A and B are shown apart, each in its own frame.
Chain A
Amino acid sequence: MMKRLVLIALMCLSATVGVQPAFAWQSTAQQLEELEERAFKQAVSQVAPSLVRIETVGGLDQVQNFLLGNGPTTGVVVSADGYVISSSFNFLSKPASILVTTTDGKRLAAKAIANDTVRMLTLLKVEADGLVPARPTAKPSIRVGQWAIAVGRALDANSPNVSVGIVSAVNRVWGKAIQTDAKISPVNYGGALVDVDGSVMGVLVPLSPQDNSPVAGVEWYDSGIGFAIPLVDVLATLDRLKQGKDLRPGLAGFNFSSTDMFGGDTKIDRVRYDSPMYRAGFKDGDLIVELDGHKVTRPAQVRHVLGSKIEGDKLAIAIKRGDETKQADLTLVDELPPFEAGFLGVLPTREKIGSGPPTVDEGVGVRWVYPDSPASKIGLKPRDRIVKFRDQTLTSAAQLIDQVSRVRPSEKTVIVIRRDGKEQSLEATLVGYPEDLPKDLPTSAIESVAETEPKASDERKVDGSEKPRTGRFGEEVAESKNAWWAFVPESYNPAYAYSLLVWLHPPGDTLEATVYDSWKTEAERRGIVLLGLKAANVGPGWQANEAEFVHETVVSFQKKYSIDAGRVVLHGYDKSGPFATHLAFKHRDLFRGLLLAASAVSERPPENLPEYRLQFQLICGSKDPAHPILERMANSLRGIKYPANFTSLSDLEHRYPNADGVDAMARWIDSLDRL
C-alpha cells in the first residue's frame, strides 16, 4: 500500500515538474496549513454532538454593576443520562427557567443541580438518555503550544462557533485551569476547549487569579487570555455535584506569618481551633515543608496546591517543628468554627513612642482593669506590668493583644506580672469580649509637647521637617471633587499614638458643625484625630467609586500623624452607614472599628479573622424606629464572634447622638486596644 502511494506521488511530481518546480516549498507550507485547517474542522465536528445550547428565561439584568447578556450560551454533556456542565457565569442572572437544546434539535427543560464555586461551574440535568458525553483529554498529554480549539454554541442555532489558538499554559489560576489564546468570551463560556483529536481538554470559564467574584475575568474576553477547567477534574467531582450540594473551597485551617506570598516562608501564624490542622495536632509556628508530595518553601506554592481543592478533598501535609518532622493526611472542610478571641480585661498602657528601645523584661504596663473581668479576678491592678503571657516575653501592647487573641474564652493561661519589682505567676481563665462599655473610663495621659521635645520655632520642628497642623482645618481635592476637614487636638504630641475617627456624612448634609462641636472636647481628652470626608456630591451622598478617595485620604493621614493602626474607626450615621460598612469590610487591613449611629450593618459581614481584628459599635436613640433592628444586629454580630457593643440613648429620636452618646462612642474608641 505504502509503496503504491509513494509511486503515485512520484508520478504526480514528474507530471508537473516541468511546470513550476521552483515553488515546491510553498506548496508544502500550504499543504500543512490546509491539513491543520481540516484537522480543526474535524475536531469541531467530533465534539459538536457533546455540546448543547442553553437558553434562559427571566432573571436579573445586572450583577455588581455588570450588565448581563441574555443570549444563548453553551454546555458540555458529561453523561448519557442528561448531565450537562457549564460555566456558572451563564446563570448569574438567576433565571426562572433554563432550557437545553441538544444537537438533534430537541429542546428540554433543565434544572440547575449544583455549583462548583471553586472552578465556577454549574451542573445541569435534563430528562434525556442517549446523549453523547464529551471524551476527556488525559491531563499529562496537554502540552503548552499545542493547538486548542474553543467551541461554543451561542452564535448560531445550527452549528457551533469556533476559535482556534494554542494552549498558553497549564495549572493556571492556582492550579485550576488551562490557559489558551483562543478567543474566549460569552459566546463560548460553558463550551469546550478541544484538542485537534476532538477530545475535550477543558470547559471554558471566565477566571481571574486576583479575584474570585463570579464576573472576574470577563474583562479579558477575546483578549488572548482565556481559561478552561480540565474536564478530567470536572469528572472527578461529578458524583459530588450530582448530590445537589454546592462545592466550596476546601479549608485546612491555618494562615501564614508572612504576608509576602512569593518571598516569605511557610511558617504558620495560627492554626484555627477545631480545624483539620488543629485536630491533626499541628500548632502555631510549625513550618510547612511538603504538600501532596510537592516540596514547598513559599506561601504562593502552598496556595498553588490548595487553590483547586474543595471540601472533602484529601491533603497530605508535612511540617517541621524544630528538628522534628510531622506528617498527616487531612480531609478538608468547607467551614471552620468562627474565630473567637479570648478577653483578659486589661487596657494596656500607651507608651511614649521612640523613648529608647524596649528592654526585654519591661513587658506591657496595665493602664486599666475591667471590673469583673478575668484580670480583676486574679487581682491585676493599674501600673502592674505583664512580662510574660503563654511563656512569651512581651515587648509591646500589640504583641500582647495578639497573644491574648490566641487563647480561647474559657481556656486557662499563665501570666507573669511584675509588681513593686517582684515577679509573680498567675493563672487566668479568659472569657469572651464584654457586650457593655466600661461606665467610667479614665483617659490615658498624654504629656504635652513641651515636656517631651526641646523648644523649637513655631512652625518648624528641631529636625527641620514641617510641624503637622493642629486645630481645625480642611482641603479640597480637585481631581475627585471631594473635600475633607479635620480636627487635630491642639495638644497633639507625635510621641503618642492617637485614635483616628473617619466621619462619613449622610446624604444631603455634611453635619460638619454638629460633629465638630460634639467631638472637640472628647478628641482633646482621649487623643482622637477627627477626619471628616465630603462626598463629591453632598446631595445624593457617597457613591461606590469614592471608596478610593476615602482610602487614600485615610492612609495619607496615617502617614502625617502618629496614629495607632489598631484604633482607626469608620463612623457612619443614618444613610451613610451602608457606605461605611462597605469600606470597613473592603479594607480590613485599614479599619479596625465600625461605628454606626442610627444605621444598620447593611452587608453580610465577612468571617471574623484573627489577622484582621474588627470591632463594632451600634448606637441609637430609644425612640428611633431602628432601635430593635440595631439591637438584634449587635446580637447576631456577637453570634459570629465579633466584639460588638450596642448603646441605647434614652429618649432620643432618629438623630445624631447627643452628648451622652458621644461620651459612649468616645469611651468605645478609647478602649479599642483592649485585650
Chain B
Amino acid sequence: MQSAECKVQSAECKVQSVEQTARQICLAVRFQMPSALRSARSRSIMHFALCTLHFALCTVLFQSSTHAQSTRDTIAVVQPKVVKIFGAGGIKSLASHGTGFFVSKEGHIATTWSHVLDADQVRVVLSDGRRYLARVLGAEPQLALAVLKLNSEEGAEFPFFNPDEAVSAGTGTRVLGFSNMFNVAAGDEPVSVVHGVIAAKTIIEARRGVFDSPYSGPVFVVDGVTNNSGAAGGVLTTRDGMLLGMIGLELRNAKTNTWMNYAIPVKELSSPIQQIISGKFERKKDPNEDEPSLKPRRYKPLDFGFLMVPDVVERTPAFIDSIQAASAAAKVGLRPDDLVLFINDELIQSCRALQDAIGRLESGDQLRLVVRRGNELVNVEIPVPRKKD
C-alpha cells in the first residue's frame, strides 16, 4: 500500500512537469494548426503527439481514482450506482416507476420527490437484479429532492456517487444520461443510457407560471431526450463519469411550448442530501409561502400620469393611450402611442404584464421605462410616488 502511494507521489511530480509541457504544446499546436493542417502527414504526427500526451496524462492522473476514462468504461462504472424504483402510481398517466442513485455506501439513494414515493415503502431494484425495500428518509420538495434508505443486510456495501464531488460543465460538453425511462430495464438489466451535450445552463423560474415545476434554480439543459416518464431521479454525468446532475421530472416550457430535457445540478443538492443522511435536515421556508397568492396591485399607470390602451386580447401590446397634462409622465416626455417594452429591465409583452409590473412597485423605487417610439428606443425614469396604505 505504502509503496503504491510513493509511486503515485512520484508520478504526480512527473505529471506536473508533463502538464507544463502539455500546455506549451497545446499553445504551439493552436498557433501552428493552420499550417499543420496543410499536410495530412504532419496532421497525423500532431495527432499522435497529442494522443500520446493525453494518454500519459490520463494514465498518471487517474490511476489513483476510480473514474473511468472512455465512454464505455464510464457506463460500466456508473450503471451499478443507478437503481430502479417502484412505488405508487400506475393509474391514468402516472407512472409507478422512477430512478435513483446511491449517495452512500450504506445504501442511501437520492431521487426526485414525486408521487412514486407516496407509499409506505418503495421497492428498489439494483442493476444486478437484487431487490430491496426502502423508506423515505427525508425530502426537500422545493428542490424536488428525496433521500431513501435501503432496507439492506447488515454490513452490505453499494457503489455510490459522492455528491460533494459533483462537478459543473459548460455548454457543448458531452454528457451521458442514465435512467429507467419508460421502465424499459427489467429485473437485472441495467438502466438505459442516452447521450447528448449540454445545450445550455439556465435558470428555471417556477414562479412566473412559465414552468410548472416545484423547483426554481439553475439547471443543465440537455440536447438528448433525457427526461421521459420514469427518468426523473436518474443521473447526468460527464463522459468520464463525473456526476453533474439529477434528471428532473417531465417539464413543459410555456415560453416555447416544448418539453424540456434538463437536470438539476447535484452541487445544489449535495448539502441537503448530506443533512438528510445525517438527520440534521431542516426544511427551508418557502419564500413564496408568506406572500399571499393574490397580492393587490399597489400602483397603476395613472399614478404616473399615463393611461394604457384598452386590454382586449390575451397579448394586447402595451401602448400608451394618453398622457395627463403636467403629470410625471408628461414631464419625462412620454407620448401617446409609445409602446412600453421594458419596466425595470423586465420585458413587457402585454398590457396585463405592464399592470402586473407596475403593481409590484414599492414606494421609493424608480420606475425605469424603455419605450419604442417609431424605430427608436427611448429610456425614461420616474420616481415612484409615496402612497398611504
18 chain-A/chain-B pairs, Cβ below 8 angstroms = A2-B46, A9-B49, A30-B70, A36-B174, A40-B172, A41-B172, A41-B173, A57-B341, A60-B315, A96-B339, A97-B339, A109-B376, A154-B256, A156-B200, A161-B200, A164-B223, A183-B199, A183-B225
Among B11, B32, B50, B317, the residue within 8 A (CB) of A35 is B50
Chain B nearest CB, measured from A313 CB (Å): 32
Is A33 a contact of B21 with CB atoms below 8 Å? no
Chain B residues near A10: list those with CB within 8 A.
52
**In the bound complex, CA of A33 to CA of B70 (Å):** 9
Chain A nearest CB, measured from B370 CB (Å): 8
Q: State whether the Cβ of A513 lies closer than 8 Å to any Cβ in chain B.
A: no
Chain B residues near A31: list those with CB within 8 A.
50-51, 54-55
Is B48 a contact of A185 with CB atoms below 8 Å? no
**In the bound complex, CA of A159 to CA of B258 (Å):** 20
Give B319's nearest chain A residue, CB to CB: A96
Is A156 a contact of B49 with CB atoms below 8 Å? no
Chain B nearest CB, measured from A134 CB (Å): 18
Chain B nearest CB, measured from A590 CB (Å): 34
Chain B nearest CB, measured from A60 CB (Å): 7
Is A155 a contact of B52 with CB atoms below 8 Å? no
Chain B nearest CB, measured from A496 CB (Å): 54
Chain B residues near A20: list those with CB within 8 A.
59, 63
Give B32's nearest chain A residue, CB to CB: A1
**In the bound complex, CA of A107 to CA of B198 (Å):** 27
Looking at A68-76, A281-289, A443-451, the stretch in contact with chain B turns out to be A68-76
Q: State whether the Cβ of B253 lies closer than 8 Å to any Cβ in chain A.
A: yes
Is B52 a contact of A13 with CB atoms below 8 Å? yes
Is A108 a contact of B377 with CB atoms below 8 Å? yes
Is B201 a contact of A156 with CB atoms below 8 Å? yes
* Given contacts A58-B316, A159-B171, A185 and B256 within 8 Å (CB-CB): yes
Is A27 a contact of B223 with CB atoms below 8 Å? no
Residue from A1, A5, A20, A60 having most chain B Cβ neighbours under 10 A: A5
Is B221 a contact of A155 with CB atoms below 8 Å? yes
Among B52, B170, B196, B315, the residue within 8 A (CB) of A58 is B315
Give B42's nearest chain A residue, CB to CB: A2
* Given contacts A57-B339, A60-B315, A161-B200, A187 and B240 within 8 Å (CB-CB): no
Q: State whether the Cβ of B197 lies closer than 8 Å to any Cβ in chain A.
A: yes
Chain A residues near B201: list those with CB within 8 A.
156, 159
**In the bound complex, CA of A29 to CA of B200 (Å):** 26
**In the bound complex, CA of A34 to CA of B50 (Å):** 11
Give A19's nearest chain B residue, CB to CB: B59
**In the bound complex, CA of A55 to CA of B317 (Å):** 13
**In the bound complex, CA of A161 to CA of B239 (Å):** 19
* Given contacts A8-B25, A58-B315, A162-B171, A15 and B199 within 8 Å (CB-CB): no
* Given contacts A9-B52, A57-B318, A155-B199, A160 and B375 within 8 Å (CB-CB): no
Is B21 a contact of A12 with CB atoms below 8 Å? yes
Q: How large is the interface on A (under 10, 10 to 19, 20 to 34, 35 or more residues)?
A: 35 or more
* Given contacts A1-B32, A70-B255, A162 and B60 within 8 Å (CB-CB): no
* Given contacts A57-B317, A58-B349, A59-B317, A162 and B341 within 8 Å (CB-CB): no
Chain B residues near A67: list those with CB within 8 A.
257
Chain A residues near B198: list those with CB within 8 A.
162
Report B14-55 CB contacts with A as 1/0, cut-off 8 Å. Answer: 100010010001001000100000000010011011111111
Q: State whether the Cβ of A545 lies closer than 8 Å to any Cβ in chain B.
A: no
Chain B residues near A41: list those with CB within 8 A.
170-173
Residue from B45, B55, B319 having most chain A Cβ neighbours under 10 A: B55
Is B341 a contact of A5 with CB atoms below 8 Å? no
Chain A residues near B196: list those with CB within 8 A.
163-164, 183
Apart from the given pairs A5-B45, A109-B376, 19 other A-B contacts in the complex at a CB distance below 8 Å: A12-B18, A12-B53, A13-B56, A23-B55, A33-B174, A37-B174, A44-B171, A57-B341, A69-B257, A71-B254, A72-B255, A96-B319, A97-B372, A127-B375, A155-B199, A161-B200, A161-B202, A222-B225, A222-B259
**In the bound complex, CA of A71 to CA of B210 (Å):** 10
Q: State whether the Cβ of A182 lies closer than 8 Å to any Cβ in chain B.
A: yes
**In the bound complex, CA of A164 to CA of B222 (Å):** 10
Q: State whether the Cβ of A99 lies closer than 8 Å to any Cβ in chain B.
A: yes
Among A36, A37, A186, the residue within 8 A (CB) of B258 is A186
Give A21's nearest chain B residue, CB to CB: B59
Among B51, B319, B350, the residue within 8 A (CB) of A27 is B51
Q: State whether the Cβ of B362 lies closer than 8 Å to any Cβ in chain A.
A: no
Is B349 a contact of A57 with CB atoms below 8 Å? yes
**In the bound complex, CA of A155 to CA of B63 (Å):** 39
B360-389 at interface with A (beta carbon < 8 Å):
370, 372, 375-377
